[in-house]
Each structure stands twice: as C-alpha cells, then as structure tokens.
A = this chain, B = another copy of it.
Amino acid sequence: MTREDRARERERLAQMAIELTARRGAEVTPEILAVEAGLSRARIDALFPQESDLFDATTERWFAPHVAMMEEVLASDLPTIRKFYEFFARRYLHNRKEYRRDPEAFALLCELGARRFERVRSYIDLADHYLCELIAQAQVDGVFEGLEIDQALSLINQMVVAYTQPDVLMMLDERLSEEKLAAIVETMFAGLSGKDRGARGLAGLHAA
C-alpha cells in the first residue's frame, strides 16, 4: 500500500465511521468498524495504530469542508466586510444543513466532539487564526479601531456564537438566518471599537 492509498483508505473508513455513528447512535469502536467494513481487526489497527487515531481521522473528515470554506474565503478578493460574512455564513449554512438532515446524529457527533474537546481544539484554533487575519485586514481599512487583534477576536466570536457553536445553533435554529448574521457583521463593522462609550458608566455608580 502506498502512502496515498493508506491516506485514502483512512479517509474512507473515517467517513464510514461518521455514518455508522449517526446510524447506531453511539460512538463507533475499531471492532465495530472492522465488522461493518468487512475488514480484519488487524487491518483497522494497522491503519489507526493509536487509540485516538480513529477519532482524529473522523474529526479531520468532519472539519475538512470547514477548513476548505475558510481558506476559500481568505483567498478570495471580496471586500473585507463580505469576507467576514462569508467566513461565518458558509460554515453556518453547512452546519445547519447537516443538523436539519439528521438532528439526532448531529447532536451526537457534537457531543462526542465536546467529550474529547482537546482533539477538536486545533480546528477552533485554526478558525481563530484565520479570523485574526481577517481582523488585521479590516484594521488596515480603519475598522475595529483601538482594539488589539485578540480583543477584537474574542468580541467578534462572542457576537456570532449563535452561528458558530453547534450547540447554540441547535438551540436557536429557526431564529437564525443569513439576513440576521449579515446584520450582526454590519453592526460590528459600524460599531465595534476600543472607545469607551458609556455603557458601564462611572465606577461605583449603580454597581451591578
């Protein structure tokens, strides 16, 4: 088997594991995957030697379209505000489609991801990394003035959490829309800055 063959075979089995997880309503072990794929357990172990390798392969498979969507947006020549919108909207619509196609399977896959969050972490970090690039581009245009990139990152992530966190998406589903996401992105572009504009008021006065 060449290295490419191995990679392709792992990808095929990772996709199968995702579908089996959805169908069975539980995490798929290497034993179950071997039976369902008609392969020997030794063959599965050779392809996924470490205990976490199968999970990592399914995670990679799950996030591959997300990574592709983000990279496509970053490489595009859209105006920065459009890039921001597309950066969130494409992944939101992708998640929404997955969720609505099979709500229970989507919820289960999210739960499995949350349980092994340390293995999913790198995809969150990658999204943050790309968003920092977009923030830096926006700051060249004078947007998000007076904020460190990390501050802007955290505030922006919080303002769109309903569109990026699968758990919140599941909870709010029908109330979310591309129009509202666009309005939130436009609100950031028009209003997010490091200026103090009096929401917290004077210290000690009416302390919360």
A172 to B155, CA, bound (A): 12
Most chain-B Cβ atoms within 10 A of its Cβ — which of A93, A175, A183, A189?
A183
CB distance from A52 to the nearest CB of B (A): 23
Which residues between 158 and 208 of chain A lie within 8 Å of chain B, taking CB atoms? 158-159, 161-162, 165, 167-168, 171-172, 175-176, 178-180, 182-193, 195-201, 206, 208
Asked whether any CB of chain B lies closer than 8 Å to the CB of A61, the reply is no
User: What is the interface residue range for chain A against chain B?
Assistant: 35 or more
Contact A167–B172 (Cβ < 8 Å): no
Copies of the polypeptide in the assembly: 2
Contact B186–A197 (Cβ < 8 Å): yes
A89 to B85, CA, bound (A): 28
Q: Known contacts A89-B208, A159-B159, A161-B161: does B82 contact A199 (CB below 8 Å)?
A: yes
A161 to B189, CA, bound (A): 19
CB distance from A178 to the nearest CB of B (A): 7
Contact A187–B191 (Cβ < 8 Å): yes
One of B161, B190, B208 near A190 (C-beta < 8 A): B190
